[in-house]
Amino acid sequence: MSWRKIRPFILPISIILFGAGLYWTITGGYWVLQRSEFIEKNDTFEYLTAWAGAWNWWFLTLGLILLFVGGWYSFDTIRKKREFEEYINSDSKKKFVQNLRDLEEIAYKLGPVYEERLEEKKREWKVKH
């Protein structure tokens, strides 16, 4: 599968990664803290972590990585969408043209739908680039 086909789904994928990372960080963290007797046993968390045993160390590590990666990509994608909307909805042709290079880069990273919107706006403003 090519990167181009995945681009429109980056936000949902990153939110899922963030959620999995959050879950594994909480359950793995509970298991580590409970085994070190830092916190008391909780039946609900014990049920969620007992099946994995010592693998909870790996789940905690993987959870922290996924939490960071999923959080970053979620934040970055939302930021790019907001920036794209700000530039594309500008009432000023000058502002649009000044930010055209940024717009093209953002549209490429966000996917074909945003690239089409950018091309439509270029035709509307009669900008050739």
| pTM as predicted | 0.83
- How far apart, in whole angstroms, are the C-alpha atoms of residue 49 and residue 59? 10
- How far apart, in whole angstroms, are the C-alpha atoms of residue 23 and residue 63? 7
Read off the pLDDT band of 5 (50, 70, 90). confident
Tell me: the pLDDT tens digits for 96-117? 999 999 999 999 999 999 999 9
C-alpha closest to that of 106 among 115, 97, 94, 95? 115
